[in-house]
Structure 1
Amino acid sequence: MAFLRSPQQLTIGTLDKDLQLTSPPEDSISSLAWSPAANYLAAASWDSKIRVYDVTSSNTGVGVAAIDFGGPVLSCHWSGNGQMVVGAGADRTARILDLGANGAPAQQVAAHDGPIRSVRFFEAPNTNAPMVVTGSWDRTIKYWDLRTPTPAAQLTFPERVYSLDTKKKLLVIATADRNLHLVDLNNWGAVWRTRESPLKHQSRVVTCFLDGSGFALGGIEGRISFQYASDQDHAKSYSFKCHREEVEPGKSVTNVWTINDVSVHPVHGTFSSCGSDGTYQFWDKERKNRLKHYPKVGGSISATSFSRGGSIFAYAVSYDWSKGYAHNTPNHPNKIMLHPVLEVDCQPRQAIGRR
């Protein structure tokens, strides 16, 4: 389906006020995550580190902490209170840094038999502490109680885990066989339901809605799908094309770009998307409008994240590995940019009409 387009003067954005974060990672940036409690930004990189930046007093950030790994880091996330940051990656471990622990080093909290592709904090029923879920290319997800060294539970799938996300009581796992596995965290020891992806090709990223009623799915085919979890609401699910461009106007040849990340605005519940085409865009899933689209930034955008109040949009311009190892040449940019988000940029269109 095609998204409705709002008036042109409202949809075109500029990059004029975007600022570059100081001291970026030294290799491709795989994941960005803002703390839910402060203007702290975590960045996971292929240089085997997670870096934490304080953007409170400096518009270009100050490095305040780092976690070292034994290989590329593929995912990072914050605890609900913003005190701990977790990362995981190719060394098959997940490690947590407690920023309130007076300089104590990061601790390993999880292990798999293959690289860990995604990691998230979550809160399980009848537990008194935050837990972590990890999804790996060893075809499992594991739940970890940070007080014990062994997993609290494990789910095994027919194929590798490519992405996972959780919000409220919903956990969604996208696997290499194009299946989507949904878990109700009230019963986190079992898969609630499994659906085939509505996208025709490989899943790249899943991001849950703010209320946990569903999720956004992005893939390598320049298409995003908004999916509702319950059978009752599933009929409202839909997919649409984006991050595509005509090679020549009026011709039938179109470049199709990978969707590398989808982020949700923490206040309005609207979404951003980014891709190998080097652009980012804002979307209103309820009214099927594109709110903003932005010019190319000079390289692939590999990861994105909205700050806790939604006033800053961080995006990483770096190689996204869509063309393999041989194309990761030194001329690729590698930086983290901070885009100031105006209220009007991410508000649903109906709310803007009432202003």
Structure 2
Amino acid sequence: MAPSTQFELAQPPNDAISSLVFAPEAPTRLLVSSWDKNVYLYDTHTDAEGGGHGTLLQTFEHRAPVMDVCFGADDNEAFSAGMDWTVRRIDLESGDQTVVSKHAAPVRRVVYSREHSLLITASWDNTLHVLNPSNTSLTALTITLPGKPHAMAASPSKVIIAMTSRLVHIYDLAALGASLASGSGAAPEPWQQRESSLKFLTRAVAAMPSDAGYATSSIEGRVAVEWFDASAESQARKYAFKCHRQTGTAEDGAADVVFPVNALAFHPAFGTFASGGGDATVALWDAAAKRRMKIYQKFPDSVAALAFSSDGKYLAIGVCPGFETGMEDYSGEGRTKVVIRELGETEAKGKGAK
């Protein structure tokens, strides 16, 4: 079995990383969005002239910091969410950008469902926009949210939105598609409305590829794992745990130092997931066995974003200064890194995985 290897991509962003995502087909095609107002497209496994790991294929400049990015219907289509209140479609071959949605405040998250051909955007104007980018004749749905959205993720059949006040709304994607196609402009009610199992603000949410449930993380060093099935038996399986903490010493009064859990990502095949935190570490967890499988060597700065490749062989890690020690004189320039880890064959395999 080939050993695990880890390397940094050449030509990383110049400021903090807001998100990163691998392509749905090509396992070495990676998009990275940054506060430096750009989206970056890399091939993680071809070396550029002059040395260095990976190749920066193209940079797509925006008017304001980019908060999120996702791939669309194929490896050549992407959508970005910006602080300029717009959602843009990016043709990754030609470089052309088209505004597909406008909100009344910065757009925090954007997800695309290939199964339903739906683009869903979540803005700090407390709305979701739902549209079909391949059918512009359909009028986009606008859904008013009861709180400001901070995290969003899509499973094969659901989209999960985590908001302020510990609110979590789950929508059925087929129902959203049917409402959009009807042209009535009327949005369906949430499939489920929940209160987060975590007591503090949600920082990240990730959906299980198996379509069974999701995980959320908070600013207070905790992760919760939950299932969609509302039956008492299924709900009894949900759990939460502490993580990304440093054990207190006598010098600091023996209190644990608690860090935000900034990022979550599920492995596409094994049902395990990775978490990344302000403590500059990444951990692998077995969701079914409720145990930590691995914690990686500490990075130089906070872990801001995580993504597994579609084949599960690679884990992309966005590393940049966090705000854990204050915001004075913040700069990610020269300290922002995109780390690619090639996983060993069983590295991310849970106890019960086949």
Q: TM range, normalised to the smaller chain? A: 0.7 to 0.9
Letter in 1 for 2:40: R
Q: How big is each residue's C-alpha offset from its partner over 1:206-226, in whole Å with a ceiling of 9 and x where there is no partner?
A: 110112221100110100000
SS of match in other structure, 2:347: helix
Match of 1:26 in 2: 14
Match of 1:266 in 2: 268
Q: Distance in 1 between matches of 2:73 and 2:7?
A: 27
Shift of residue 17, structure 1, vs aligned partner? 3.4
Answer yes or no: is the 8 Å Cα contact 2:82–2:107 preserved in 1. yes
SS of match in other structure, 1:142: strand
Match of 1:7 in 2: none
SS of match in other structure, 2:236: helix
Match of 1:122 in 2: 113
1:71 counterpart (54, 64, 67): 64
Match of 1:137 in 2: 124
Tell me the number of residue pairs that the alignment of Structure 1 and Structure 2 aligns.
332
Answer yes or no: is the 8 Å Cα contact 2:285–2:292 preserved in 1. yes
Gaps of 5+ in 2: 177-186
Shift of residue 330, structure 1, vs aligned partner? 6.0
- Within 5 Å, which residues of 2 pair with 1:154-233? 154-188=142-176, 189-190=187-188, 191-232=190-231, 233=234
Matched, 1:45 2:34: yes
Letter in 1 for 2:74: N
Answer yes or no: is the 8 Å Cα contact 1:208–1:215 preserved in 2. yes
Match of 2:247 in 1: 246
Matched, 1:106 2:97: yes
Shift of residue 66, structure 1, vs aligned partner? 2.5
Q: Which moved more, 1:220-229 or 1:73-82?
A: 73-82
Letter in 1 for 2:9: L
TM-score if structure 1 supplies the norm length? Answer: 0.88
Answer yes or no: is the 8 Å Cα contact 1:29–1:316 preserved in 2. yes
Answer yes or no: is the 8 Å Cα contact 2:285–2:293 preserved in 1. yes
Q: Distance in 2 between matches of 1:18 and 1:249?
A: 35
SS of match in other structure, 1:349: coil
Q: Distance in 2 between matches of 1:260 and 1:327?
A: 21
Q: Which moved more, 1:106-115 or 1:272-281?
A: 106-115
Letter in 1 for 2:130: Y
Q: Which moved more, 1:43-52 or 1:81-90?
A: 81-90
Q: Which moved more, 1:64-73 or 1:333-342?
A: 64-73
Q: Distance in 2 between matches of 1:34 and 1:330?
A: 22
Letter in 1 for 2:272: T
Matched, 1:312 2:314: yes
SS of match in other structure, 1:177: helix
Match of 1:255 in 2: 257
- Within 5 Å, which residues of 2 pair with 1:315-334? 315-322=317-324, 325-329=327-331, 333-334=335-336
Letter in 2 for 1:248: T
The 1:20/1:159 distance shift into structure 2, 3 A limit, reads same
Shift of residue 269, structure 1, vs aligned partner? 2.1
1:286 counterpart (272, 285, 288): 288
Q: Which moved more, 1:210-219 or 1:63-72?
A: 63-72
Shift of residue 99, structure 1, vs aligned partner? 2.9
SS of match in other structure, 1:309: coil
Q: Which moved more, 1:301-310 or 1:81-90?
A: 81-90
Letter in 2 for 1:115: P
Letter in 1 for 2:67: L
Gaps of 5+ in 1: 1-13
Q: Distance in 1 between matches of 2:332 and 2:248?
A: 27
Letter in 1 for 2:148: R
Answer yes or no: is the 8 Å Cα contact 1:243–1:257 preserved in 2. yes
Q: How big is each residue's C-alpha offset from its partner over 1:230-269, in whole Å with a ceiling of 9 and x where there is no partner?
A: 2122221110111011122796310001000001111212
Match of 2:182 in 1: none
Aligned-residue Cα RMSD (Å) equals 2.2
Matched, 1:336 2:338: yes
Match of 1:6 in 2: none
TM-score if structure 2 supplies the norm length? Answer: 0.88
